[in-house]
Amino acid sequence: MSTRQSDRPAVVARGVHKAYGDVRAVDGVSFTVDRGEFFGVIGPNGAGKTTLIEILEGLRRADTGEVEVLGLSPWPRNPALLPRLGLQTQNSAFFTRLTAIEHLRTVTALYGVDRRRADDVLALVGLTGKASTRVDRLSGGQRQRLAIAAALTHDPELLFFDEPTAAVDPQARRSLWDLLRRLKATGKTIIYTTHHIDEAEALCDRVAIVDQGRLVALDTPRALVNGLNRPTVVRVPADRLSTEDARGIEGVDAVTLEAAVLSLSTQVPGRVLAAVSDLAGPHEVRTHTASLEDVYLSLTGREYQP
Ligand SMILES: Nc1ncnc2c1ncn2[C@@H]1O[C@H](COP(=O)(O)OP(=O)(O)OP(=O)(O)O)[C@@H](O)[C@H]1O
Ligand SMILES: [Mg+2]
């Protein structure tokens, strides 16, 4: 092989399978993640996201298929790779009897980095005020933020986050988005699972949608949404515009009335909005366009899966 490790993608997975007994948790998945990419993995509970990520992290062994991480094989555990990866797992392990800062200092010691880094990463996740609180007395969301801090202590180049915002409050979630964007801006590669589809849409360069162990879509959020080819819906209070007038607007393909709101479907929202504004004024007129959540629901179904 003449290709240097540093020229290889961050992750290459080819035909990866992993079964637990009869359950095909990961069922033939192939994809590549580029260096510096923010790569999202979304899918229903039990879709195989954590299993897939743990295979990439070197925590689980694939039954078949090939996996390459930063140009190296993550299995068997590769000591050259570990310091270059940051892991926040779905069930992060803590030194629960230590305080938050002691926990992070222990992590810095394990990685052999300056212990002052513990204070820096605690500040990055907004937990400085909890430095002397014992880990087992932190709230669920605070503990999750501590796990994120721990994943950053050794400044790794490839970061894995498995539902980092699951129990995190809205303000902390937005702070975390900022932090993740700053990490991406410094060239880090980020692999990220979430059930907040808005989050995947806002943060990720590309998103993989996984369902029952298979990759059912992989593209940029915008391309996924465009691929859905859904009309834009313009909503107007029904007391401001008659159904008849709405139907008469050029570019309106369908009009429905529900809960005293008229919904006008169109492929040319700019033109329809201008016409609605002329007839009814702009006040309380709302537009709804398809989002990544619509793509997700259309591909993975609306029903709970067993
Ligand atoms: N250690 C295990 N032993 C047996 N089955 C497992 C094990 N871990 C996961 N599974 C099964 O594999 C499938 C995929 O699980 P996985 O945890 O990868 O899903 P997930 O997409 O991460 O789900 P969630 O969104 O709930 O975190 C599920 O059916 C699960 O029950
Ligand atoms: Mg999971």
- Length of the chain as a residue count: 306
Which residue, judged by its Cα, is nearest atom 16 of ligand 1? 48
Q: State both tokens at 226.
A: 């465009």
Among residues 80, 56, 38, the alpha carbon closest in space to that of 186 is found at 38
Question: Mean pLDDT of all residues in the chain?
Answer: 94
Q: Which residues make beta-bridge pairs with 27?
A: 17
Residue 285 CA to ligand 2 centre (angstroms): 39
Residue 89 CA to ligand 2 centre (angstroms): 9
Is residue 13 pLDDT above 70, yes or no? yes
Residue 54 CA to ligand 2 centre (angstroms): 10
For the CA of 43, the nearest atom of ligand 1: 21
The mean pLDDT of 56-71, rounded to a whole number, is 96
Residue 107 CA to ligand 2 centre (angstroms): 24
Is residue 304 pLDDT above 70, yes or no? no
pLDDT of residue 303: 56
Is residue 306 pLDDT above 80, yes or no? no
Cα-only R_g, the chain: 23
Is residue 302 pLDDT above 80, yes or no? no
Substitution site in 17, 18, 42, 50 for ligand 1 pocket (most atoms within 8 Å of beta carbon): 50
For the CA of 213, the nearest atom of ligand 1: 14
For ligand 1, residues with CB inside 6 Å are 20, 23, 25, 43, 45-51, 90
Substitution site in 23, 60, 195, 214 for ligand 1 pocket (most atoms within 8 Å of beta carbon): 23
Decide which of 3.40.30.10, 3.30.1490.20, 3.40.50.300, 3.30.1440.10 is the CATH code for 5-226. Answer: 3.40.50.300
Among residues 158, 141, 150, the alpha carbon closest in space to that of 122 is found at 150
Tokens 């932090």 appear where?
179
Alpha carbon 27 to chain centroid, angstroms: 21
The mean pLDDT of 152-176, rounded to a whole number, is 93
pLDDT of residue 7: 87
The mean pLDDT of 109-122, rounded to a whole number, is 96
Per-residue pLDDT reduced to its tens digit, 16-28: 999 999 999 999 9
Q: State both tokens at 192.
A: 């990220």
pLDDT grade, residue 289 (50/70/90)? very high
The mean pLDDT of 263-275, rounded to a whole number, is 95
Q: State both tokens at 273.
A: 């909005």
Per-residue pLDDT reduced to its tens digit, 83-97: 999 999 887 788 888
* C-alpha distance across the termini of the chain, in Å: 45
Residue 90 CA to ligand 2 centre (angstroms): 6
Domain-wise residue ranges, the chain: 5-226, 231-289
Per-residue pLDDT reduced to its tens digit, 197-218: 999 999 999 999 999 999 999 9
Measured CA to CA, the distance from residue 60 to residue 75 in angstroms comes to 8
Which CATH topology does 231-289 take? Alpha-Beta Plaits (3.30.70)
